[in-house]
Chain A
């Protein structure tokens, strides 16, 4: 990650400050998706867990069948979201560090850090209404630090 990142940083600034002839090619890299998964009923429906009913007060509503959450360095954006049942939530690591996305209860969904390296994405479709708390074990605990909630409504 480090050499690639440096090259992109340097290239990015050179594009702006250097004469055109010095601009480096290939600096506009994009994050590479990987590990996308659709859970459907086969995922959450087999969770064997009851959703936790504690809803953070500042949960925001996201609309659409596909919504995004960013895993930045040490924080999710947005961490606490509300979506309709059947919505696919995609977490994308846009920070410099590895992350994971783990449910605070059970193991029916989520991804280890192997699936959330910088630039990688992980998706889960939430079909069953409930409150799904999750966290990054590298930068938080089940209760504090890099934590989030998906509230799924009917």
Chain B
């Protein structure tokens, strides 16, 4: 889809300019083992060698490390060079500040293998850290807060890892991975709070893992969904394991419409298929702890594809002509299908600990529940109705999830993201000054999710 020739031409021009511009102050200063790619690169220091991060990024070549000293940088950095690492020396003191005027802290546009480490982005009108159109990406020890769209955002991007990071104060999601199948990506050991959604991912999945993380005090916790307003629908095959998900009823966060609609739910795959939700600890939610619910889409661009297309790779659907508008209804409903909810510990949900609902025959939807610790469900006895092994039995109408009441509740309006709480200091990357640069050519490794147990409640 993307013009490789144009990119090559631009890169060639950029490299030539960079080579001419950085003759001084860009000596080899470190043995930055290339990590995945085994490259060796230079260290480009900011502001020592280059006054701005953008200047250093523009001068960088494959394998280089852009090393940023403490300071506040009022920049919106765009990265178009493959396989570079951008690292702050101190996560809490290297601060990109958009002053509520700039759009993205760091935007990686099509560049492969770019890693961003150990810094903070705040006060951006769009996103803190944003990868798009890339293959290979990594974000480590990042903090994003007070961002007008997402905190850490990967879109139309595959083969990634987001780890040891923190996001708060976004009206959409603190962390987001969208429009990819297979995604080949993992979010691991992150904290997301005071956002509209702790995690969101539209039309993403396939080797996509959300693990060992904390989603708390958002409007809603983990909310993957489907929708034809982005490509590569439906959302599918997201694996959510070993997370702490609690108190996602926060009334005073910024929030987009979907976050308002989803408020008060812990893990809420909305219209997704073949998601796996295992061994999470979920508590204190005004509505459901774990809910499999429909996602209604008004004014869609397409109809819901049949299950036979569930495994169609994203790349095969990108360059299709828009559907005939006369054949698309005013509203489509993405119902949950074939999701698996197993061995979670769920408590203190005011509507239901476990829930499933559909506008179609839910008994035939293939969703299953087993081994969970819970007290309430909608419908009642959901593990008997929809076991993961064998045939279910019982009355689906008994205590059925009331979708109307679920969505009709009125919620406190969105608050200004510019006034979201300022987080405290976050953990620094070890040895940021001397650690070798590791571009993110292939950062994704399939996690051993079977080894992940239900996490304990925090003290």
Q: Report A's interface with B, CB cutoff 8 A.
A: 2-3, 5-6, 8-18, 22, 27-31, 52, 54, 56, 58-60, 62, 68-70, 72-75, 77-81, 94-97, 104, 133, 138-147, 149
Contact = CB atoms under 8 A, between A and B. Distances in A.
Contacts of B325: 68
B27 interface: no
B383 to A, nearest CB: 24
B299 A56 contact: no
B360 to A, nearest CB: 10
Interface string B222-259: 00000011110000000000000000000000001110
Contacts of A58: 1, 319
B155 A17 contact: no
A27 B298 contact: yes
Contact of A78 (B179, B258, B299, B319): B319
B156 A74 contact: yes
B5 interface: yes
Main secondary structure of the interface of A (DSSP, over half): mixed
Nearest to A6: B257
Interface in B126-156: 126, 132-133, 149, 155-156
B403 A77 contact: no
A28 B331 contact: yes
B404 A141 contact: no
Contacts of B296: 9-10, 12-13, 16
B287 to A, nearest CB: 15
Contacts of A30: 299, 330
Given A5-B256, A9-B258, A62-B321, 14 more contacts: A5-B257, A5-B298, A6-B261, A9-B296, A9-B298, A13-B404, A16-B294, A29-B299, A31-B299, A74-B156, A74-B178, A75-B179, A77-B231, A77-B301
A73 B229 contact: yes
A13 B330 contact: no
Contacts of B408: 10, 14
A74 B132 contact: yes
Given A16-B296, A17-B359, A141-B110, A95 B230 contact: yes
Contacts of A13: 294, 296, 333, 359, 403-404, 407
Interface in B260-274: 260-261
6 closest Cβ pairs, A-B complex: A144-B110, A6-B257, A13-B296, A28-B330, A8-B298, A12-B331
B295 to A, nearest CB: 8
B407 A73 contact: no
A6 B260 contact: yes
B318 interface: yes
A29 B230 contact: no
B80 interface: yes
A97 B150 CA distance: 12
A26 to B, nearest CB: 11
Given A11-B298, A16-B296, A143-B110, A2 B256 contact: yes
Given A13-B403, A16-B296, A140 B322 contact: no
Nearest to B230: A73
A100 to B, nearest CB: 12
A78 B301 contact: no
Contacts of B404: 13-14, 17-18, 22
A91 B230 CA distance: 15
Nearest to A17: B403
Nearest to A54: B5
Interface in B330-353: 330-331, 333
A29 B300 CA distance: 11
A71 to B, nearest CB: 10
Given A13-B407, A16-B296, A143-B7, A27 B2 contact: no
B3 interface: yes
Contacts of B229: 72-73, 94-96
A60 B301 CA distance: 19
Given A9-B298, A17-B404, A77-B322, A143 B2 contact: yes
Given A12-B298, A27-B298, A142 B403 contact: no
Contacts of B403: 13, 17
A139 B230 contact: no
Contacts of A29: 298-299, 330
Contacts of A10: 261, 296, 407-408
A142 B6 contact: yes
B431 interface: no
Nearest to B227: A73
Given A12-B297, A140-B132, A141-B109, A60 B319 contact: yes
Nearest to A8: B298
A54 B132 contact: no
